[in-house]
A and B are shown apart, each in its own frame.
Chain A
């Protein structure tokens, strides 16, 4: 130590010129010299660290290991960076730990061995690396999720396309056979038969158009390209139109009961959305109800909202399937053998939700279902 005091001018000149902290220890691991960067880094006054053990600047949990390393190092006596493959920490006077990088340089002076440690505070670099790692992890997670979603969507689309192509083929067969038959009825007195087939073709085209509209609606919903138009219109006009179209699809003996007292009811809503929702519910009621049953459309005017209910006497929805009934592509167990794509209710609910309206239901298997659209009324 005396040596360093004796040559303090030279040491001072050299050590103060570098930005790294310099701590010199003797073979007893006592600090014999520090520069101001080291003092500042560890929070000590000038010369405060002198004569103290090197353990003073090392966190307690590393003391035993560190002493062994230093002894070995002094024996080998070669330059190297410290703590290769391990994370190194220093401890400040106030007890705060911080990550460091240290290079060890042994040297001999007047017959004594010393080790000069060049220390760099890597807190910022470590923070930066940790941040980067966190960002990479987050991005990887996002990417994995996006990929999984993309895969799921692609599978759903494949399934849906096969379903749609299947759903198209039966109505197309009806159209083709009707056209074939139309071509055979050329006599004047066969007009009734011609009318029947023209009607079948019209119905089937309408059905195909509904499937296509549902499909396009899904695309628009998913891509957020929906544009709603809130306008005032008489509810009776819309209900009449929907029921008129639905009447053509009725099974033998089925009938639709019109709602009462809606003649003077003007509502403000997106007409197309309500038409889509209501027609969807009525078509489902027809499809899933047997012959000779009644489908009832009921309108309840409440203080803050308006309820439009479609009640049927159909096959109902099994209890275990009820929680999934609005899931896209879902078909209830008892509906699997009936035509359908499993998208109608899903899109109707989403569209209605986008306009602060709701779509709910109650159902008992083999007794019937009631689906209710609730639209908020402007007060």
Chain B
């Protein structure tokens, strides 16, 4: 069962998204702000992180940057879920290293496809890395 960490400050959206993903067989842990989210990711690295941008205590950009500094978390696929829909915001998120960027309100299929794509890319990458004659530290 793949583990998802969902970081979102809006309670209804957090609960709904978690509920929806659980129906599709994911194990979801939720955090209501960036700081808790970062802590949970470091405590027990999930398979993928879904993260809002505008949040109290620590915003999504900072969460991603902090995760990138940590060897244990920098490889985790990261998807932004944000109400910031301007192109420059999306570009900023991607430039910071996010694997995908979903704009709110997002559709069930978009969400599931984004998660699946990220997970399969990571799977493919780690398979290829294992085939290399030397060890790569990510």
Residues of chain A touching chain B, judged by Cβ–Cβ distance below 8 Å, are 162, 165-167, 169-178, 180-181, 184, 197, 200, 203-204, 251, 337-339
Query: In the complex the two chains form, is B16's CB within 8 Å of A178's CB?
Result: yes
Q: Quick one: given A181-B19, A337-B59, A338-B56, are A169 and B12 in contact (CB under 8 Å)?
A: no
- Which of B48-81 touch A at CB < 8 Å? 54-57, 59, 81
Do residues B16 and A166 form an inter-chain contact, with CB atoms below 8 A?
no
Query: Does B116 touch A at the CB level, under 8 Å?
Result: no
A180 touches B108 (CB 8 A): yes
The CA of A177 and the CA of B11, in the complex, are separated in Å by 12
Q: Say how far A327's CB is from chain B's closest CB, in angstroms.
A: 21
Say whether B23 contacts A169, CB under 8 Å. no
Residue of B nearest to A204 (CB): B12
- Whether B10 lies near A181 (C-beta < 8 A) is no
Assembled-state Cα–Cα distance A200/B11 (Å): 10
Which of A165, A170, A176 touches B10 (beta carbons < 8 Å)?
A170
A172 touches which of B57, B81, B86, B104 (Cβ 8 Å): B104
How many residues in B have their beta carbons less than 8 Å from beta carbons of A? 26
Please give me the residue from chain A that is nearest to B82 by CB atom: A169
A297 to B104, CA, bound (A): 35
A173 adjacent to B105 (CB under 8 Å): yes
8 Å CB interface, B7-26 against A: 9-13, 16-17, 19-20, 23
Known: A177-B13, A204-B12, A337-B55. A169 touches B104 (CB 8 A): yes
Q: Which of B11, B57, B103, B108 contacts A251 (CB 8 A)?
A: B11
For A193, the closest partner residue in chain B by CB is B19
CA distance A173 to B56 in the complex (A): 19
CA of A169 to CA of B106, assembled, Å: 9
Interface centre among B13, B56, B57, by most chain A C-beta atoms within 10 angstroms, is: B13
List of A residues within 8 angstroms of B83 by Cβ: 166-167, 169-170, 173
List chain B positions with a Cβ less than 8 A from chain A: 9-13, 16-17, 19-20, 23, 54-57, 59, 81, 83-86, 103-108
Task: Chain B residues near A184: list those with CB within 8 A.
Answer: 23
**B-chain residues with CB within 8 Å of residue A167 when the two chains form the complex:** 83
For residue A174, which residues in chain B have a CB less than 8 angstroms away from its CB? 10, 12-13, 16
Q: How far is the CB of A174 from chain B (nearest CB, A)?
A: 4
CA distance A202 to B108 in the complex (A): 20
- B34 to A, closest residue via Cβ: A337
6 smallest CB-CB distances across A and B, nearest first, come from: A169-B83, A177-B16, A173-B105, A174-B12, A169-B104, A173-B104
Given contacts A166-B84, A200-B12, A251-B11, is CB(A177)–CB(B20) below 8 Å? yes
Partner of B56, one of A180, A197, A337: A337
Which of A162, A165, A170, A251 is the one whose CB lies under 8 Å from B13? A170
Would you call A177 and B17 a contact (CB within 8 A)? yes
